[in-house]
A and B are shown apart, each in its own frame.
Chain A
Amino acid sequence: MSTLLEMRNIVKKFGKVTALDGVSLTVTDGEIHAIVGENGAGKSTLMKILSGVYSHGSYEGEIFYNQNECKFQNIRDSEKQGIVIIHQELALVPYLSISENVFLGNEQTNHNIIDWNVTRKKTMELLEKVKLHEKPDTLIKDIGVGKQQLVEIAKALSKEVKLLVLDEPTAALNDIESENLLNLLLELKKQGIVSIIISHKLNEIIKVSDNITIIRDGKTVDNFPNENIDENRIIKGMVGRDMLDRYPQRQKTPNQQDILLHVKNWNVYHPAISDKKIIDNVEFYACKGEVVGIAGLMGAGRTELAMSIFGGSYGVNISGTIQKDGKNIPVKTISQAIDNGIAYVTEDRKQYGLILEESIVYNISLANLAAVSKNYVINKFHEKKVSEEYREKLRIKSRDILQNTKDLSGGNQQKVVLSKWLLTNPDILILDEPTRGVDVGAKYEIYQIINQLVEEGKCVIVISSEMPEVIGLSDRIYVMNEGKIIGQLPKSQATQEKIMQMIMSSQNDSRAT
Chain B
Amino acid sequence: MESIKNNFRQYGMIVALIAIAVLFQVLTNGILLMPINITNLVLQNAYILILAIGMVLVIVTGNIDLSVGSIAGFIGAIAGVFMVRMGLPVWLAIILCLSIGGLAGVFQGYFIAYRGIPAFIVTLAGMLVFRGLNMATLMGQTISPFPTSFQAISQGFIPNFFGGNVNIIAFVLSGLASVCYILIEMHSRKSSKFYGIAVSSNIYFVIKLAIIAFVINLFGYWFAVANGVPFVLILLAVLILFYSFIANKTIVGRHIYAYGGNPKAAELSGIKTKRVVLLVYINMGILSALAGLVFAARLNAATPQAGNAFELDAIAAAFIGGASAMGGVGKVTGAIIGAMVMGILNNGMSIMGIGVDIQQIITGLVLLGAVIFDVSTKNKG
Contacts and interface: CB of A to CB of B under 8 A. Distances in A.
A358 B251 contact: no
Contact of A377 (B250, B258, B261): B250
A356 B260 CA distance: 12
A404 B5 CA distance: 13
Interface string A350-369: 01111111100010011101
B268 A356 contact: no
B328 interface: yes
A370 B268 contact: no
B268 A353 contact: yes
Interface string A409-421: 0000000000010
Interface of A: 310-311, 313, 333-335, 337-338, 344, 346, 351-358, 362, 365-367, 369-370, 373, 376-378, 380-382, 384-385, 399, 402-404, 420, 424
A313 B267 contact: yes
A369 B266 CA distance: 12
A404 B2 contact: yes
Given A357-B329, A358-B261, A377-B249, A313 B268 contact: yes
B244 to A, nearest CB: 13
| In the A-B complex, the 3 residue pairs with the closest CB atoms | A355-B261, A381-B195, A367-B269
Contacts of A334: 267-270
Contacts of B271: 335, 366
A344 to B, nearest CB: 7
Nearest to A335: B270
Contacts of A337: 270
A357 B6 CA distance: 12
Interface string B258-298: 10011011111111100000000000000000000000000
Nearest to A356: B262
Nearest to A366: B269
A355 B268 contact: no
A370 B251 contact: yes
A355 B251 CA distance: 16
Contacts of A362: 254, 258
B197 interface: yes
11 contacts: A313-B268, A333-B272, A335-B270, A351-B265, A355-B328, A358-B328, A367-B269, A367-B270, A373-B251, A376-B251, A384-B195
B196 interface: yes
B376 interface: no
Contacts of A380: 249
Given A355-B265, A402-B3, A366 B272 contact: no
B183 interface: no
B268 A335 contact: no
Given A338-B270, A367-B269, A369-B254, A381 B264 contact: no
A310 to B, nearest CB: 8
Contacts of B197: 381, 384-385
B275 to A, nearest CB: 11
B194 interface: yes
A378 to B, nearest CB: 6
B266 A335 contact: no
Given A356-B261, A358-B328, A420-B269, 11 more contacts: A335-B271, A351-B265, A355-B328, A357-B328, A362-B258, A365-B254, A370-B251, A376-B252, A377-B250, A380-B249, A402-B3
B195 A369 contact: no
A351 B254 CA distance: 19
B57 to A, nearest CB: 17
A351 B195 contact: no
B381 to A, nearest CB: 8
Contacts of B251: 369-370, 373, 376-378
A384 B191 CA distance: 12
A311 B269 CA distance: 11
A366 B249 contact: no
Contacts of B195: 381-382, 384-385
A334 B255 CA distance: 15
Contacts of A367: 269-270
A351 B264 contact: yes
A355 B266 contact: yes
A357 B269 contact: no
A377 B242 CA distance: 13
A200 B197 CA distance: 38
A353 B272 contact: no
B132 to A, nearest CB: 36
Contact of A354 (B191, B249, B250, B262): B262
Interface in B162-214: 191-192, 194-197
B328 to A, nearest CB: 6
Q: Which of B251, B266, B270 has the most CB of A within 10 A?
A: B270
A334 B274 CA distance: 13
A385 B196 contact: yes
Contacts of A357: 261, 328-329
A354 B2 contact: no
B117 to A, nearest CB: 18
A372 to B, nearest CB: 9
Contacts of B261: 355-358
Interface string B16-60: 000000000000000000000000000000000000000000000
A420 B270 CA distance: 12
> Chain B CB within 10 Å — which of A355, A356, A380, A402 has the most?
A355
Contacts of B266: 355, 366
A370 B255 CA distance: 12
Contacts of B257: 358
Contacts of A356: 261-262
Contacts of B254: 362, 365-366, 369, 378
B264 A355 contact: no
A366 B316 CA distance: 30
A105 B271 CA distance: 42
Contact of A355 (B194, B258, B270): B258
